[in-house]
Structure formats: structure tokens, C-alpha cells
Amino acid sequence: MSLLKTPKGTRDFTPKQTAIREGVFKVIIDCFKRHGAETIDTPVFELKETLMGKYGEDSKLIYDLQDQGGELLSLRYDLTVPFARYIAMNKISSMKRYHIAKVYRRDNPAMTRGRYREFYQCDFDIAGPADPMITDAECIKIVYEILSDLKLGNFVIKVNHRLLLDGLFEVCGVPQEKFRAVCSSVDKLDKTFWKDVREEMINVKGLDGQTADKIGKYVQQSGAMDLADKLMKDEVLMKCKAAKEGVEGMKLLLNFCDIFGVLDKVRFDMSLARGLDYYTGVIYEAVLEGAELKKSSDKNQEQVGVGSVAGGGRYDELVGMFAPKGTKVPCVGVSIGIERIFSIMEARVEEKNEAIRTVETEVLVASAQANMLEERLKLCNELWGSGIKAEFFYKRDPKILDQYQHAEKSQIPFLAVIGDKELKEKSVTLRNTKTREEISVPRANIASTIKTRLKAIEE
């Protein structure tokens, strides 16, 4: 028999890993709900035609399915395109939603960096009309809140504008049909140096050296409002309508980010290009500062990021691709990279050797004497009926030491111990697992006493 293993780019999650992940999910969902989002769910696979033509060069990473009925299907690549399909199909004009689910990509996995072929995405999107940059700024605020609440360390949220990118390509002399191809090259600047990107633009994308150098002067700039002001004074750039609109939009966005108190973490970065075809306006990406490398080969180069933990942007035309009459619904959203965040949290737990609770059991019903199985079952049943999370050993006469050790190892706060003495007195001995303090509680009051003591522990 061949060695049992999971498919390439996938993995199982242990109870400990799942507990860590659920803790991260709770922080994210709490933030989404705080901002007024409702949740939906969509199929894990879509019609192939729904996904095609939406991801540019990344379309080759889509998983296709063989369907016995002959229907052409694909596993979802992200949660954004299915959301746009949902909006168009249900003729929704306004919605604020979050969606947490698995997506699939035929990527070359690098599991040490949190890259998989099957992974979770946590998306927040606002669909519907709004005045410029207000909802875009709220999405950036959400990223700021989540990364701050998770205490992942220092981070930066890079922002840019697709219209500005298109405008600077136009000003630099890039043919319009090559905008997206050149954009995908610029998008690699967070992983490699300008000289490598320049080489790709010339040798692969077919630009001349002069055009590539003009692009380089722009895309190697970053800052905040100072950069926006500098670009506004660039007469050549401002003659281009798209570029002017992009810079004006960035100034407005940065102003709202300042009002939301997040400007200290926001960087206007002209190298940010996010390759997906459906973005039409502001784009953003959050990178942990600890996840950036200083390349030793060139001391003057900017730090190069090895992976973002959140990203998103505006996609005003995606819903219109699905609507029968091409009705556009403006949308903006963000996706939290849960797998990378989880990898960081897991490593931190391992490093600190933290004990993680994998069960929520509040009471272990135990006995030190033989022939108490039925009494343990009765007491456990009473506790369940009172809404208390309880469990018991599945042996007729378990050793009391084994029961104590199980409670300690599983971090179960209390043991409810019964024996002949307790049955005679109609009482239960309640033992605090941590302090080992024991008190006798009347049987009729055991549930209320446990609840009171649990509340005291939480406080």
C-alpha cells in the first residue's frame, strides 16, 4: 500500500491548530460585524465561464473539474468573483457582506510561507453607490483594526490607484494593449529588484529600454500626502486625465485615512500593482514589516516584501460583466490572508510553548469509587440540561488520578465528584482544577454554583 498523505498543497489541521485558527477567525468576524456586515455563502465550484476572463495571467491557476454530466465547472479561485455573480444574479444594488470560506489555486505551494492550493479567505466587501473614497477608506480601516487586534507586530498598508498606473504607462509611452502585461511586471517589485523587473519588461513584454526607465522613475517612489502633492506638480503626468483622476483620488483617500486614524500605517506606493484584471480604482495590500527582507546584493534597494497578509481594492465593473444589461454596481473590498496570519500565530505559540485549549468543556464529572457509572451519567445529563459543557470518562470504574490528570491536561476548570458520601448527603464535591480547592455543594445547587464560579473565572 502506498504511503498515506494529503494531496500536494493541502494539509490536515490538528485540534490545537484549529483552535488557534478559530481564535483568529473570531477576531476577524468581530471586526466585520462591528462594521455592519452580513454574511453569505456561495458554492465551492462555479460554472467555468463565470471565472474565466476575470483573473488575467492568474487564470492558469484555476482548478477545472470533470463533470459526468458534461457541464464545464471550476473550483472557486477567490470569493470576489462569486460575490459579483451573486449580486448580479439576485439584482442587488447595495450590500455590505463578509464571507469566510476555502478557495483553490493550482499554485506551486510554499507551505513554510503559508502558501497552499487549498486555503481560507476572509473577505469583506461593500457593494453599491457611495461618494468617492469613503468606502475604500473604511476597508483600509478594517485591515488596520484586524492586524492591530491580532497583535502581529508592525505592519504597513500600501495603497495605489489603477487609474494612476494606467496614466503613467500612457505618459511613459506604453501601448494600451500592453498595460495589463506591464502591470503584472510592476506587481513583482515587492518580491524582486527593479533591474529584474526592467529586464522582464524589455525581454518578455517587448518594451524599449527608454520606456522601461521612465516607468522605473515613477514606480520606485513611495510616501504619503507628500508624494500625492509632488505628483500633482508633475505637468507631464497631470496632462493625462486618468493619472490626474488617480492622484486626486489618492489625496482624498489619504485624507479619510487621516480622519480614521490610520494614516501612520498607510504608504502610498507606486509599485503596488495587484495583477488581477478586475480592479478599477484604489488598490491596497498590507505587509508585516517583519516579513520584509533587505537584499544584501544592493544596499540602496528598498526592502522587498515576501508576502502580504491582506489585500483588496475597487472593482466597479465586475458585477456588470454578469448582469444581463451590463448594469454596473460599484464595489470595493478586502481579503484577509488567513493562512499566512495563522502560520505566524502558530509559530508564536510554539516558540512560547503556550498551552492551547482544544475543548470548551467546563466540568468533568468524576468519581473515586467503583459502581458509579450510572450516577455520573445522571449528573452529566443534569449539567447538559442546564447548558453547562460537561463530559465524563467512558469507563465503568476509571481511576480518580486519571480523571484529575485529564482535567488538568485539557484545562477543564472544574471536576464534579460524586461517591457514596455525596449520594447520602445529596451533594456534589466541586474541585477547582487549577487551585485544587474542594467545596461541598448541595446537589440542587450544583449547576448554579458552577455557572457563578465560571463567571468569576472569566472576570
Beta bridge partners of 64: 74
Point out the annotated binding site for L-histidine.
78-80, 105, 121, 125, 274, 278-279
C-alpha span between 152 and 141 (Å, rounded): 16
Q: Are 9 and 323 in contact (CB under 8 A)?
A: no
Point out the annotated binding site.
78-80, 105, 121, 125, 274, 278-279
Residue 359: count of CB within 10 angstroms of its CB: 12
Amino acid sitting at position 271: S
- 189-193 long-range contacts, Cβ below 8 Å, gap at least 24? 189/219, 189/220, 189/271, 189/273, 189/304, 190/271, 190/272, 190/285, 190/287, 190/304, 190/305, 190/308, 191/304, 191/305, 191/306, 192/304, 193/295, 193/297, 193/298, 193/301, 193/304
Cα angle value 216/179/331 (rounded, 5°)? 110
Beta bridge partners of 391: 364
C-alpha span between 382 and 393 (Å, rounded): 16
In the numeric block, the cell 442546564 is attached to 386
Q: Are 80 and 121 in contact (CB under 8 A)?
A: no
Beta bridge partners of 157: 266, 286
In the three-class reduction of DSSP (H, G, I as helix; E, B as strand; rest coil), residue 221 is classed as: coil
